[in-house]
Structures are given as structure tokens and as C-alpha cells.
Structure 1
Amino acid sequence: MSRLGAGRHAEDAGPAVPDGLRTSVHELTTADGAAVTGVLRVPAGARTVVTLMHPRQDVTHHALVPYLLAAGHAVWTQGSRSPNNDLNLLHEQALLDFAAGHVFLRDSGFGHVVTLGHSGGATLAAFYCQQAALAPGDRLATAPSGRPVALRDATMPEPDGAVFLAPHPGQGALLQRVIDPSVTDENDPLAADPGLDPFDPANGFREAPAPAAYDADFVARYRAAQADRIRRIDATAAALVAEARSANRSFTAHPDAYQRRRALAPRLITVYRTDADLRNVDLSIDPNARPYGSLFGRRPDLTNYGLVGFGRLSTAAAWMSTWSANTTNADFRRCAPGVRVPTLLLEFTGDQASFPSDIAEFTQALGATDLTVDAVPGTHFGRPIAEGAPSGNELAAAVVEKWLAARVS
């Protein structure tokens, strides 16, 4: 039997690397002094560069890279200050990381810089576009926890265009969709309220892979309970932030070794069971062409209890900045009106995290007057929907290349 998470990512290698490709690795310094790295690939004669970044993941080998290179575009894949480690991820700091890459690309002499955000990278790019378009003094001065951020001091060039591929609504809004509200004890990964258990047959679940069938009343109670659980964790995060501030004040007043340790000691938030979006097992809710299963595997009733999942471990400041739907600034819909550069919004028709209702909402919210909305068959990570069909990434790349060709020379 294949492992539970098998088949998440697309396996197509894409076209061959073009002859004459130059590849270089660069370390950059952000406006607040952090170090970030990126990989620049430049085909001969390239004048346009497409930049990819994700707040939590390494995108060096993103599936669209070879397609963009084959089309003659340079590609910049950038990491954050803590790639593949979101324990203390502040989206406001990730914007400073992203900004350093944009400054580097402008200074490198490219004629056009276009950002391509996939999944959570799309929300990061929308957040960046929103803040970059503001006068420096109007940008955010702090993260939601109150921690100062240097956005007002940073150079933040706007891109010449933005591609949003399979955008979900943001890490916080996404977590509220997938969090299991039946948890009754945040310290016990197995504690459950049977009346809210999404994988209890009494509530409409059927043994996988038969689709579940939840009634409207259960769906409404479930979603309300998801929001309630997020609010309870918000309260915990706020209390931990207040405790940290108190410790820092105590250290300032009494700078002895104990107070210094107290000021430095983290209080981490552990969140169990975050793979429980009803839509992943009841395909009649927000219907599209998605297969049964979630982003994390084909058996959400099992992976929900496993190690991998969104927002599983974080500092209180990271919870408030990234994972809380109520306090995060990185929300696609709220950032979308500030995106005014030419924009391509591209949907995968079998997406398990970005649904038709999301795309409709984002279409209405985006501020760009030059807005193209399109869709191609594929799952969230660009796998084909049907066996033997072209991959979603191949089809998406063709749409992106056509859109770029009409806007850059």
C-alpha cells in the first residue's frame, strides 16, 4: 500500500533546460538586517524575470521553473529568512525578504519583473503588492503581536505584473477551514466531541474513499465551531504575548540572569488535528473536479491525526501574524484591492484548497484594471486530474506564457 501522502506533488519534469542558461546563487540583506538567499536562472537574451517565493517553503525547484526558462524568461526563486521552518514566521518580515529580492532584480537591469505566487505564495505576493503600493509612512509599522517591522524603512519596488496561481485565501483563513473543531482539550490530540467529529459516521462521514454526505445543519455547526476554536487559540496567543511583554519589562527594570532567561523563554502553541476541511471528503460542498482527499493525502480521516499539517507549532507572534484568521494581515481578499498591476488569476479546476467560490470572490476584489481570469484542469499542486492527461503545471505554464507574451517584450 502506498503511503498516505503519496501523490501530492506533480511528477512532470517539464521541458529541458535551454542551452546557454546562466545560474547563480545570491545572498541578500533585508532592510532589517536579515540574510536571505535566492537562485537566479537567466536564459540567453532574457529581459523579463519571473520571481517566485513562498512564505514557508523552498520554491527553488517549483514545477513552473523549467517552462518559464524554456519560454526565454529569467526566473528568480527566493527563500525567506527561515525556509521550511515556520515556527516564528511573521508575514510582515517575509515582506522584507521579498522586497530584498525585488530590489536586487531591479538593480540587475531586467526590463520587467513579474511576481508569480502559487498557493500561499499568492497571498504573500498580494500582501507585498498591497504594501508596496502605499507611501512608506502608510505601511504597517508592527506585526499583529506589536513587534516592530521595518516596512516603512524598506525599499519595496512594485512588480510590473502579478500571476496568482491556485491562490487560497491565506494561511489564517485556510487554517480556519481545515482545523478540527471537535477537539475538546488542546493538550490531548485524541480528545473529541462526537457531535462535531467530521469522521464520525453519525455525522455523515462514510468510510473512505466513499464521499461523505453532511447535512446543512452539521456544516453550519461545524464551521461555527471552527471559528470558535480559532478564537480560543487567539486568546491563548494574546495571553502569551502579554506575558512576554511583562517579562521584557521586568528584565528592563531588573536586568539579572533570571529575568533575562524569562524574557527569552518561548511559549509555543501546539495545535492538533488540522486536516479536517469537510470539502475534502464531501465533494458536493463547493463542487469542482477535485479528487477525494486533502492537500496532505488521500485519507484525511487518518492524516488529521498525524504530524504534518498547517499551524501545528508556532510562537504566539507567529500565530497572530500567520495562522489566525482574525489577526493576520496576510489575507488574500483583504489585500486584493491593493493589487493594481496587471494581474493573471489562474485556477486549477480540481483544486483541494482554492475553490470556485474563492476565485469568484478574488475576481471581484482584485484592484487591477488589467485583470485576466482563467482556469486549467489540475489539482492544487499541478497534478493531472485524469490519468494520461497533461499535468496542471504544463497547462498553467502555457496560460502564463501567453499572458506574459502579451505584456512584455
Structure 2
Amino acid sequence: MPELLARGYAVWTQNTRGAGNDLTLLHEQALLDAAAGHTFLRDHGFATVVSVGHSGGAALAAYYIEQAGLPPAHRETATPGGKPVPLAEARMPVPDGLLLMAPHLGQGHLLMRMIDPSVVDETDPMSVDPALDPYDHRNGFTEPPTSSRYTRDFIEEYRQAQRARVERIDQVARERVAVSARARKRYANTREANDRRRSLASGVILVHRTDADLRGVDLSIDANDRPYGSLFGRRPDLTNYGIVGFGRLTTPEAWLSTWSGISSRAGLLRCATGIAVPVLLVELTGDQACFPADARELAGAFASGDVTHVRVPGRHFGAPLTEGMTSGATLAAETVSDWLRTRFPNPAAGQ
């Protein structure tokens, strides 16, 4: 944002109702928050509005544009867990462009590659199937900072097991959501306090070990300029067992809407097919969340005939690729500024 402001652009930022807390984040509700921001800008005279999506915000921005571009009657009416969302009644102005900075494919899709499939007991953070343990030397792991080396067969088996674990968690989430829904329905008829309590008692889902992306320790998988490690640290073999990590604690509704790579609709690739505005995709060459294959697939997924894909040296949050280099954020801002001037000239500046 400072880079854009320094180049003379007005910048609007806002939080969703779940600011800084993914425990209850429902993407369909967040679309209403985004709609409020877009409406505010249009009502205050901004003729040109470009959405900016960084990291996980990219999927939210894309989901918003995809839904905003649909006739109201064709928009989603509920979350994946069944909670009603009035998108059809919402005013949802479509922006004029989409700028993606270090976008990953969405929280659920990112977690699908980071979740540890060797967990055999969801109540025990130390439970492990040795045959799927990414940090077992017998499977190709090497002590850091030396890059590990996993076989193609192990990678394929690992990814299938990751999906299977997400499917199991999805099933638990849907069962809890269903119990709550039945209790709400009973309460509407009985007005019994116990039914009301049961409708609210869906609890939370605790997901152990979500820092286990093989690409964090095997730098040959979809190679780029990234350093060894993950977004959470240089030793994912240790942080995987700690308390940090994506999707660690969520409501069943939030798991289905945000963190499930199977149930969440907030997938950047899915939404891209419904986006026809000009798009700038800035890939950072040292990214540990958006990898080259992701970026290439994404660049080809948009319905827009105006997609610009650039690669800029830097790391996921815009830091320099190496000490002494210009930051990725500054390098990206030069490209962004050129793209904005070309696509959206400012008549007041004589452009």
C-alpha cells in the first residue's frame, strides 16, 4: 500500500467481520463485507476501482468478482455448511481490474498441500503413520538445511493421503453442522431451551500438524528461488508439531467455507473462469505459497483476454529475495504502476 500511495494512487483498505481471526471466517459473509467497500467507493465518486488481492486475499477478491458478475438470482444463497447468505439482495459493483500480488490458490487449496496426512488419530498430535511421515528419513527427508528428496511415488501417495484426510475432516464438519441444523429446526417448533443450546453447540474443529508441505523441504519440487522452510519458519519438521499453522482451529462452518480444499468455493482457479476484467498476476520468485506451476495454471484460467503475468524477485510477503536486494514489494510496485497507467489512464494527469 505505501508503494501505491507513493505513486499517487488512492488506496482503500478494510477488514472483514472476521478480521485477524479465521476461527469463524465464512467467505460468503466476507463477500458482503467486500461489497460494502466497493459500494462505498462507487458512491463516493471513484470512477475506476481495481481490486487488489495479496496471498489469501486473492481468492477472496476473485470470489467477489465472480459472484458480483452474476445475475443476482444466480449467486450463492448459502455457505457450504448451509448458512443462508443474502448475496442476491446485495449491491455488488464489479471492479474494473484485478491485481494479484503473490496469490496462492485459496486457503483450502494451500492447506491441501500443507496438511500432514500421516496423522492417524485426530485427537493425538503425536500420532503418525511412518509410511506417510514427511519428516522420516526413510521417506526421503534430510536434516535441514539440506534439501530433502522424495520419490515421485511417495509424492503421489502423500498427496492422495492429504486429500483423504481433508475428506475425513469434511465429514466430521458436515455431521456437526447437520446436528446443529436439526436442533434449530426443532427449536422453531418446540422453543425448548435445550434445542436452542444444541443448535449453538457445534463446537470447534482442532486440526493438528498443518506445516507439512513437501515443497518446503524438497526444493526440487516445482523449483523456484524460495529458501528452505515454510511460511512459518525454517524448520517445518518442528513447527509442524507446534501450535502455529493454517486452519488449526475453526468452527465446522468455517472449515467448510474456508479451509477445506474440497468444500470451499473460494478457490482462485475456480473463480478465475468467471472473471473477465483485466488481470495483473505478480508472481514472486521466492514464494513459499504460490509456486511456478500454480502461477502458470492460474494465468491461463481467467476468462479475461487481458492477463499479464510477471515474475519479480522477492518472497511471499514482499521481502527482498536476499539480503541487500530491493524488496519484492518495491520491484512489484514498478510493474503495478506501469500496468495501471496503461490500463486505466488518468485524464486529470493528461495520461
TM range (shorter): over 0.9
Instruction: Note if 1:379 corresponds to 2:340.
Output: no
Query: Is contact 2:179–2:199 with CA below 8 Å preserved after alignment?
Result: no
Q: Tell me the amino acid that sits aligned with residue 22 of structure 2.
A: D
* Aligned pair partner of 1:369 in 267, 280, 305: 305
Instruction: Note if 1:194 corresponds to 2:130.
Output: yes
Query: Is contact 2:224–2:291 with CA below 8 Å preserved after alignment?
Result: yes
* More helix as a share of residues: 2
Instruction: Note if 1:394 corresponds to 2:330.
Output: yes
TM alignment of 1:64-103, pairs within 5 A: 65-103=1-39
Q: Percent same amino acid among aligned pairs?
A: 57
Q: Tell me the amino acid that sits aligned with residue 217 of structure 1.
A: D
1:62-119 CA-partner distances (Å, limit 9, x unpaired): xxx1111111111111100120111111101000000000000111112211111001
Q: Tell me the amino acid that sits aligned with residue 130 of structure 2.
A: P
* More strand as a share of residues: 1
CA RMSD of aligned residues (A): 0.9
Aligned residue pairs total 345
Q: Distance in 2 between matches of 1:73 and 1:350?
A: 27
* Aligned pair partner of 1:323 in 228, 238, 259: 259
Q: Distance in 2 between matches of 1:257 and 1:360?
A: 54
TM superposition shift of 1:142: 0.9
TM alignment of 1:41-190, pairs within 5 A: 65-190=1-126
1:36-82 CA-partner distances (Å, limit 9, x unpaired): xxxxxxxxxxxxxxxxxxxxxxxxxxxxx111111111111110012
Q: Distance in 2 between matches of 1:333 and 1:345?
A: 13
Q: Tell me the amino acid that sits aligned with residue 190 of structure 1.
A: M
* Aligned pair partner of 2:241 in 305, 308, 311: 305
Give the match's secondary structure for 2:308: strand
Q: Tell me the amino acid that sits aligned with residue 136 of structure 1.
A: P
Q: In structure 1, what is the equivalent of residue 250 of structure 2?
A: 314
Which stretches of structure 1, 4 residues or longer, exceed 6 Å deviation after superposition?
none
Q: Distance in 2 between matches of 1:151 and 1:127?
A: 12
Range that drifts further, 331-340 or 248-257: 248-257
Q: Distance in 2 between matches of 1:254 and 1:133?
A: 41
TM alignment of 1:188-337, pairs within 5 A: 188-337=124-273
Which ranges in structure 1 are unaligned for 5 or more consecutive residues? Answer: 1-64
TM alignment of 1:331-346, pairs within 5 A: 331-346=267-282
Query: Is contact 2:53–2:101 with CA below 8 Å preserved after alignment?
Result: yes
Range that drifts further, 88-97 or 253-262: 253-262
TM superposition shift of 1:207: 0.9
Q: Distance in 1 between matches of 2:199 and 2:268?
A: 34
Give the match's secondary structure for 1:352: coil
Give the match's secondary structure for 2:100: strand
Q: Distance in 2 between matches of 1:83 and 1:97?
A: 11
TM superposition shift of 1:258: 2.0
Q: Distance in 1 between matches of 2:247 and 2:313?
A: 29
TM alignment of 1:347-362, pairs within 5 A: 347-362=283-298
Which ranges in structure 2 are unaligned for 5 or more consecutive residues? Answer: 347-351
TM superposition shift of 1:256: 2.2
Q: Distance in 2 between matches of 1:211 and 1:365?
A: 32
Give the match's secondary structure for 2:148: coil
Give the match's secondary structure for 1:350: coil
Q: Distance in 1 between matches of 2:198 and 2:175?
A: 15
